[in-house]
Structure 1
């Protein structure tokens, strides 16, 4: 886990990482970002350049992908410094990704970078190994990294807590949970007295939305959903709102802003994410399940419009006794966003959209 954590932080800084395994050694760095210095030069001298991308990016560019993650074999010394969103460079072949290449993309996703990894075979082992020995270049075993990535989010640690009275729920306590790799922190907002909660505890899984929750962006209804959920949980006798560190359906703020820029050019929210290489929804609800287990909550009344949240809890063995909708307003600016969520992601929003149409 420690090696994986360091590797992700190195990649976020634009520093190459060496992935080792049965398929051979590969240097990897993110496509995005500025790269310079000794390690960048080492990377540029590597052989067999390749770009690892997702099927979503390829589909957005009009290609049929042979698998969910794909390796594009590039011409020698044809490493692209940058690519426009959705762009795919000229390539000699398109192959299903190896385990090491999957690990590379997994690390970029965990680091909330664009899922596009440049990889090369080191030009000379006697040049790479001294750098690994000196700690200048991090070497990561592909098999161990793959296992660590698969287990991320499944364990959380309770870190701190305090009473935080809210305008719509005065008796409220915040509990902060941290994931095992230390990269993500989530809040459990405990509303009311747990001893007086209903047998099916009202809960809301709310993914962080800085633009909507804090700045009241008109492009979404997230901020209103957040406050309405707190009010509804209080009215139902208390319960829990899990505030999850999953900005932009877990693509991160940088990519969320990139996606909003693409929406300005006419794409809907899902097609914009696909141009960046992301699926319709990148969120994983394992941390939410772990938090509920820590709070000893096994039966819930779920406040959501999202069928994936209901399915995730049910599959994890948490009984969803009832579902309750939680809405924000439909506005001129968020109508397209909400219509896309209803029509393409299956969110239960038809009633509010129909009601607004008839107004």
Structure 2
């Protein structure tokens, strides 16, 4: 695919929210189906429980169980009171087997869907099931080291980022900043869009092989090579120290809490005093009750990666532990937004 040298500061006239949400929320129904197969709501009705108690009862791990309970809270099926989950009235009427209005049988024909079966395993093992329930697929992060998979996945993220990057670039205040490092950057669409919007800024795309080569080609085709360069490396092993802004765009949600904290530590070590960190992603709210479309997207991430959609509060806590001063969250577009943090 050869790209035209389009204007990366131009924004489309229409809103693609619904188109994004169909893909982002694709797996949520399968997680609901898995819970109904376990008759989970009937048990919770009789045993209001904390997340740890739910995990102990079913042999679940906390990451996938947290995603599941956030989905149910976002749908208004459970509420948390001092950390204890209770069913709401709608769940008591329609999701509990003893109710005359029980809708469990309506989902019974979906129990054998591959993704629903996957979720039962992910809940119990905390191991990603792979994209599209492909049991033969290898570790997603290792797969990105292979040319064909990396090219296809990078193209998918590039077309998504063409819109999202513009929304982010227009919201950022980068006054006085000189050089941005786009970490785990994929195609480089975010670095290119931000550099196009903030013309005083240079940018560096940082990713591993073979994504670095793919990014270099796309950056050149976009006509951005004079101000956007590519550096190859493993983000866990250290980062260049000559950038005063770091960007993680749709990167941290692929990793577990320990890995997210490690990446934040690596950034903190590489940034100068006064440096700026930007996390651009789909965020769960501080109360972990939504938004629903983000809770649905988190199901897909939980199924296929080591991560999930983190809440504003979870990111703020991790940033503070590392030494950053977290800033406020701001919306951008189609359920995405960003947080900044200062060193």
Q: TM-score, normalised by structure 1?
A: 0.30
Larger Rg, first or second structure (1 or 2):
1
Q: Determine which structure has the larger strand proportion and give its number.
A: 1
TM-score between both structures, scaled by the size of structure 2 = 0.30
Say which structure, 1 or 2, has more relative contact order (CA 8 Å, 6+ apart): 2
